[in-house]
Structure 1
Amino acid sequence: MSDYKKDSISLKGAVGLGTGVMISAGIFALLGQVAEMAGSWFPLIFIGGAIVTAFSAYSYIKMSSEYPSAGGIGMFLVKAYGKGTITASAALLMAISMVINQSLVARTFGTYTLQIFDVNETSFLVPILGVGLLTFAFIVNITGNRFIQSFTSIVSLLKIAGLAIFAIVGLWIAGFSIEGAAGGGGNSYVDQTLVSAIAAMALTILSFKGFTTITNSGSEITKPKKNIGRAIMISISISAIIYVLLAWAVSSNLSLNEIIEAKDYALAEAAKPVLGEYGLWFTVAIAIIATISGIIASVFAVSRMLAMLTDMKLIPHKHFGMPGSIQKHTLVYTIVLAMLLTILFDLSRIASMGAILYLVMDIIIHWGVFKHLREKVGPNPAIVLSALILDVVVLGAFISVKISTDPLIVVLSIIFMILIFAGERLFLRKMDDSK
């Protein structure tokens, strides 16, 4: 059986887990990609992403208040759709999108660490460092909840303070200008349109989705009916403020072309004109701290979600001779899959696939709440429908842009989702036949 410990995570610890996941890859790896899609006013896209995320969070908060569970999203889907293919497949989409996020964070760790040594981000050392970070995250996660929440809470506080200092100093040097980044002689990287700006929101939503880490630890949070919602909104608010300040600071100190050129390490590049060589070291140090805490918190949540799905017999499970609980086994699976993705994909494609899978799952959640749980959960249907429509619009824009710029990742994402739904259908049918 899985080992869930009731009341083992405080409100502060839950906020630490949420911000720990969000303020990592979100600003370090995605800032340049958002700028590439959205253009010179890309800091505003983070505000748009926060608004869309707040609408989405409403469904999760209502569900968490009614069904606090260590399975989080997996349990929500069971309540909405029953123990069937939709539930199992959507839950796996969520879990895998979180694992994809872990590989995004791992590669971000490698990319920023190598900036100290002036090593190109295409170096083979990037995935090697990423795999090393994932190994460290595994070791930390087997130590238990209390250490994890203490570690992530302290580290989250350090990185938030550090990033806030960087942003304020950068804005002060730039005279707190509110102008967008200049094109630097014309941007030849992407044709920015309203559609591409909306598409960019998909990446900012990916940078906010760490709030689901809190729902996936629901039954372990003290006073869950009250504190889950609080922790989610506090985490989103803190992250939104930090994201906007940092994006504003970067756009005030680099041209748009410079931001896009340094896409995978834009924050480190912006540190050079702001604080010189010491600024680079400071930013890399914060990036290392942020990615370490982010990956530890994410692995913590995913392994528990997968363990709950296993307990509910919604996904297949093999021990492979490993001792210990199911949760320990799912922790191993989570880390191994994240390592493979870290080795095989670059940051841009990892982020794109993660955004597509997450938004599809999010749409399924909102429809389940609106269609099947309105009477039980008691949500405002207008808010839930608004969240669903916003997700559909953003996902449609993102796929439209990616089809024209990187169709392979769209095809791979669709094939991957088809395989998940087909595989789950076969597994569940086999389980029914064996009864």
Structure 2
Amino acid sequence: MDHMHETNEYKSGSITLGGAVAMGTGVMIGAGIFALTGQIAELAGPLFPLAFVAGAIITSFSAYSYVKMSNAWPSAGGIAMILQKCYGAGAIAAGAALLMAFSMVIAESLVARTFATYLLRPFDMEGGPLVPVLAVAVILFAFLINIAGNRSIGLFSIVMAVIKIGGIALFGGAAIWGSGLGFATEPSAGDSYGLTGFVASVALAILAFKGFTTITNSGSEITEPHKNVGRAITISIALCVIVYLMVAYGVGASLPIEKIVAARDYSLAEAAEPTLGQVGFLLTILLAVVATASAVLASVFAVSRMLTMLTDMKMIPHSHFGMSGPIQRHTLVYTVVIASTLAVLFDLSRIASLGAFFYLVMDMAVHWGVWRFRRKEIGAAGLVLLTAFSFDAIVLVVFTVMKLQYDPTIVVYAVAAIAAVFVFERFYLSRWRAPTDEGMSGH
């Protein structure tokens, strides 16, 4: 199963370390900052910058599994390869891989709605039918760019990553400097942000970092893959930690917590105006629009590629539905249809919650599989793997408890969807686990 069919124009060694870093940060920054800052502040209160710190710590432990596995078996299969190496081509591996793919599709719809929300802010328009219309429009734009040619996406991702990191860092620095280095997010009388809310907010912070996993799909194309896949993941996470903290502190320095919560879907734009004026507000809007649009583009490419790999690995069924062309063209269509549907049906909060549920379950499956079956073979430390698994479990339980209190319907949707994915895969593949192509020497 190590050999993946070529599904795009990239060849071995065609992606540099910088290109791989750009892919990861391109997905992370679009979703993490513009879409989630306000939602994290709503749960964590004045301590919301620390939620990003906690998310970064947990993500660092989580990345360990992906780095060790990708260094041992660099592959275009990415997460699908990791799960297949641990569990074999059975329902556990296929179901968890599908959860990852769905969480990426959810991220597309999340960022697409964020794009629409920011685009409408200069016109004082909030909500309404234009939000899903514009969200679907940017998803369709990403689809057209993807079918135009994959090689251009790599260069575009690098350029956009540089613009986003530089622009957002400037916003954070200017907001902090303009506010006199103070912090405005003091709780109002009567506000109570407990430990449960803070831990629940970490689930969304983790979601803000999950874009690093797209780098694992670069194993067959990146230069010196046994070294550079892990390096790219590490650098991407480190860059995003710096940028996220600057922006979180910048927002907190500009606005009191109640205003951040009130403007949770466009909090960066709201934070720019008090210290940077109308010009800063409009520039932040422009940066948000560009960043989210490019993140949708990168995510559409990554998801369609992952679904193509799962099809090549015979882990999911495939139907052409009368379409011509290669399989990746078909998976592009499936991706944009699902993402567009989610963008129409759900608001930002519910989309983010679904993504958090799907991603945390998949992430736990990866850590358990690596610990149970491959840790000795790849030289991984069992304590680190179990720590990553435990962190995910704690955050997932607390996040579920919080959502059961305030939005139980989304928990029902998430549980039903996760169960449906694994039941479907069990019927399709007729087994939970299967032998792998090499001995299970990790246990």
- After the TM superposition, which residues 185-264 of structure 1 pair with which residues of structure 2 at under 5 Å, given as runs? 185-187=189-191, 191-264=192-265
1:41 maps onto 2:60 in alignment: no
Q: Give the TM-score, by structure 2 length.
A: 0.94
Q: How far apart are the structure 2 equivalents of 1:409 and 1:144?
A: 37
- After the TM superposition, which residues 20-39 of structure 1 pair with which residues of structure 2 at under 5 Å, given as runs? 20-39=26-45
> Is the 8 Å Cα contact of residues 178 and 276 (structure 2) preserved in structure 1?
no
Q: How far apart are the structure 2 equivalents of 1:207 and 1:101?
A: 9
Q: CA deviation at 1:2?
A: 4.9
> Is the 8 Å Cα contact of residues 184 and 254 (structure 2) preserved in structure 1?
no
SS in 2 for 1:220: coil
- Residues 1:192 and 1:265: Cα distance change in structure 2 (over 3 Å): same
2:381 maps to amino acid:
N
2:157 maps to amino acid:
T
1:104 maps onto 2:110 in alignment: yes
Partner of 2:185 in structure 1?
181
CA deviation digits over 1:301-357, x for unaligned, max 9? 111111111011110100112122111211111111111111110000000010011
Q: How far apart are the structure 2 equivalents of 1:23 and 1:393?
A: 25
Q: How far apart are the structure 2 equivalents of 1:380 and 1:417?
A: 29
Partner of 1:152 in structure 2?
157
Consecutive unaligned residues in structure 1, runs of 5 or more: 431-435
Partner of 2:277 in structure 1?
276
1:15 maps onto 2:21 in alignment: yes
Q: How far apart are the structure 2 equivalents of 1:129 and 1:301?
A: 22
1:300 maps to amino acid:
F
> Is the 8 Å Cα contact of residues 2 and 327 (structure 1) preserved in structure 2?
no
1:92 maps onto 2:93 in alignment: no
Q: CA deviation at 1:22?
A: 0.4
SS in 2 for 1:24: helix
RMSD: 1.5
> Is the 8 Å Cα contact of residues 213 and 297 (structure 1) preserved in structure 2?
no
1:131 maps onto 2:132 in alignment: no
- Match among 168, 177, 184 for residue 173 of structure 2: 168
| Percent of aligned pairs with the same amino acid | 54
CA deviation digits over 1:207-233, x for unaligned, max 9? 000001111232122221111111111
- Match among 136, 143, 146 for residue 141 of structure 1: 146
Q: How far apart are the structure 1 equivalents of 2:235 and 2:147?
A: 27
1:72 maps onto 2:78 in alignment: yes
SS in 1 for 2:33: helix
Q: How far apart are the structure 2 equivalents of 1:213 and 1:63?
A: 14
SS in 2 for 1:284: helix
Q: CA deviation at 1:7?
A: 2.3
1:238 maps to amino acid:
L
> Structure 1 residues 341-350 or 10-19, which shifts more?
10-19
SS in 1 for 2:148: coil
Partner of 2:326 in structure 1?
325
> Is the 8 Å Cα contact of residues 7 and 308 (structure 2) preserved in structure 1?
no
Q: CA deviation at 1:142?
A: 2.0
1:311 maps to amino acid:
D
Paired residues, number: 426
CA deviation digits over 1:78-121, x for unaligned, max 9? 1000010101100000000000000000000000000021111x
> Is the 8 Å Cα contact of residues 2 and 307 (structure 1) preserved in structure 2?
no
Q: CA deviation at 1:421?
A: 0.8
> Is the 8 Å Cα contact of residues 218 and 229 (structure 2) preserved in structure 1?
no
Partner of 2:440 in structure 1?
none
1:3 maps onto 2:7 in alignment: yes
- After the TM superposition, which residues 406-421 of structure 1 pair with which residues of structure 2 at under 5 Å, given as runs? 406-421=407-422
- Residues 1:211 and 1:93: Cα distance change in structure 2 (over 3 Å): same
Partner of 2:438 in structure 1?
none
SS in 1 for 2:341: helix
> Is the 8 Å Cα contact of residues 8 and 146 (structure 1) preserved in structure 2?
no
Partner of 1:433 in structure 2?
none
Q: CA deviation at 1:181?
A: 0.3
Q: How far apart are the structure 1 equivalents of 2:290 and 2:138?
A: 11
> Is the 8 Å Cα contact of residues 142 and 328 (structure 1) preserved in structure 2?
yes
CA deviation digits over 1:364-423, x for unaligned, max 9? 000000000012221111111111111111111111111111111111100001111111
CA deviation digits over 1:38-95, x for unaligned, max 9? 1112111101100100110010000101111112000111100001010110000000
Partner of 2:351 in structure 1?
350
Q: Give the TM-score, by structure 1 length.
A: 0.95
Q: How far apart are the structure 2 equivalents of 1:16 and 1:328?
A: 23
Q: CA deviation at 1:145?
A: 3.4
> Is the 8 Å Cα contact of residues 115 and 289 (structure 2) preserved in structure 1?
yes
Q: How far apart are the structure 2 equivalents of 1:274 and 1:344?
A: 36
Q: How far apart are the structure 1 equivalents of 2:219 and 2:104?
A: 17
Q: How far apart are the structure 2 equivalents of 1:195 and 1:185?
A: 19
Q: How far apart are the structure 2 equivalents of 1:46 and 1:197?
A: 11
Q: How far apart are the structure 1 equivalents of 2:227 and 2:149?
A: 24
Q: CA deviation at 1:199?
A: 1.0
1:126 maps to amino acid:
V
Partner of 1:362 in structure 2?
363
SS in 1 for 2:160: helix
Q: How far apart are the structure 2 equivalents of 1:240 and 1:3?
A: 32
Q: How far apart are the structure 2 equivalents of 1:37 and 1:136?
A: 33
Q: CA deviation at 1:36?
A: 0.9
Q: How far apart are the structure 1 equivalents of 2:51 and 2:263?
A: 19
1:337 maps onto 2:342 in alignment: no
Q: How far apart are the structure 1 equivalents of 2:222 and 2:296?
A: 20
Q: How far apart are the structure 1 equivalents of 2:242 and 2:148?
A: 32
